[in-house]
Amino acid sequence: MLKRNTTLKWILLSPAFALTGILIAYPLAYNFYLSFHSWYGSATRLPRFEGFSNYIATLSDPRFWNSIRVTIVFTILALGIEIVAGFFIALYINREFRGKNFIKALFVFPFAATPVAIALVWRNMYDPTLGVINYFVSLIGRVQPVEWLTKPHLVIPSLAFVDIWQWTPLVVLICMAGLEGLPREPIESAQIDGASKWQIFRRIIFPLMGPTLIAATMIRSWDVIKVFDIIYVMTAGGPGFASENLNIYIYNTAFFYFNMGYASSMMVILFAIVLGFNIILYQLTKRGNE
C-alpha cells in the first residue's frame, strides 16, 4: 500500500517536474553550454567550442568589472536603505490607530505598479528643465538645474532612489508582519521591570526580528542585483557606462553585439553571484532560527 501511494505521488508530481525542467532547468543548462562556445546568434552557423576563453575574456574585460562595480554600488545603496527605512517605518506604524489598514493598503501601490511606467514617470520628474524635482530644489535656493541622470556621480543614487521609492513599502509590510508575530511576553516583562524603549528594542525586538530582516533582504536582493527595467528605461546604462550594471551589459552583449557565448558566460557569473549571496543569507537565517 505504501509503495502504491509513493508511486501515485510521483505520477502526480511528474507534470510539475516536467514543467520545471522545460522552463528552468533546460534554459540554465543551455546557457551554461553556450558559455563555453562562440556563437553570434546565426541560424546557419552552429556554436563553436572555445573552452574557458569566454570566462578568461570576461575576467580581463574592464567594462565587465565596471558593471560589477555599478551592480555592487547600486545594490548596497538601494538594498541597505530599503531594509533600514522599511524596518523603522514598520516600527513607527506598528501600533493601533485609526486608518491603519488603509495605510497598509497604500503601501501596496508602489510595488504593484509596472516598473517601466514608474521609470518613465521618474525620468520626466528628473528632467533638468521640466522636472518637478528641480522645481523643489530651486525652492531652497539653487539656481542651476541639477542633471540627475546625466552626471556620472549622480546617476546611480538617482536610479537607486527610484528603486527605494518603489520597494521600501514591500519591506515595510514584511517587517510589520514580523512585528505582529513577535511574542508579547518578553516585551511586557521588560516593561514591568522598567526597561526603556531603547533597551527593549536593542535587547528584544531587534534580535527577534533578525530572521525577518534576513528574509526581507533575501527577497529584495534577488531583484536588486539583477535590476534591468528601471535602469534601461531611464538611462540605458549611461551616461557612458556610468549606470551600466551587469544585467544591462549582458543584454547589450547578447542583443546588440550578438555575442551570445560571451553574454552566457557573464550570465553564469551573475547567477553564481546571486546564488552565493542568497546561500550566505540562508545560512544566517538558519543560525537565527537555531
What are the tens digits of pLDDT across the range 12-26? 888 887 887 788 888
Euclidean distance between CA atoms 209 and 200, whole angstroms: 12
Euclidean distance between CA atoms 173 and 276, whole angstroms: 26
| Residue 27 covered by a domain | no
As for how many domains the chain has, the answer is 1
| Residue 18 covered by a domain | no
Query: What is the structure's pLDDT at 289?
Result: 59
| Residue 90 covered by a domain | yes
| Residue 43 covered by a domain | no
| Residue 37 covered by a domain | no
Query: What is the structure's pLDDT at 290?
Result: 59
Report yes or no on whether pTM surpasses 0.75.
yes
Say which amino acid occupies 44: T
CA distances from 171 to 85, 264, 269, 290 (A): 8, 32, 27, 24
* Residue ranges of the chain whose pLDDT lies below 70: 1-5, 143, 287-290
| Residue 40 covered by a domain | no
Query: What is the structure's pLDDT at 288?
Result: 58
Euclidean distance between CA atoms 242 and 247, whole angstroms: 14
CA distances from 162 to 117, 119, 177 (A): 12, 8, 24
Structural domain boundaries, residue 174: 49-289
- CATH number of the domain that residue 149 is part of: 1.10.3720.10
| Residue 243 covered by a domain | yes
Query: What is the structure's pLDDT at 4?
Result: 62
| Residue 84 covered by a domain | yes
Query: What is the structure's pLDDT at 107?
Result: 78
Query: What is the structure's pLDDT at 41?
Result: 77
Query: What is the structure's pLDDT at 159?
Result: 95
Q: With left for phi above 0 and alpha for psi between -120 and 50, is residue 283 left, alpha or beta?
A: alpha
Euclidean distance between CA atoms 264 and 177, whole angstroms: 39
- Helices 210-225 and 152-180, axial angle in degrees (round to 10): 140
Query: What is the structure's pLDDT at 128?
Result: 86
Contact by Cβ (8 Å): 216, 176: no
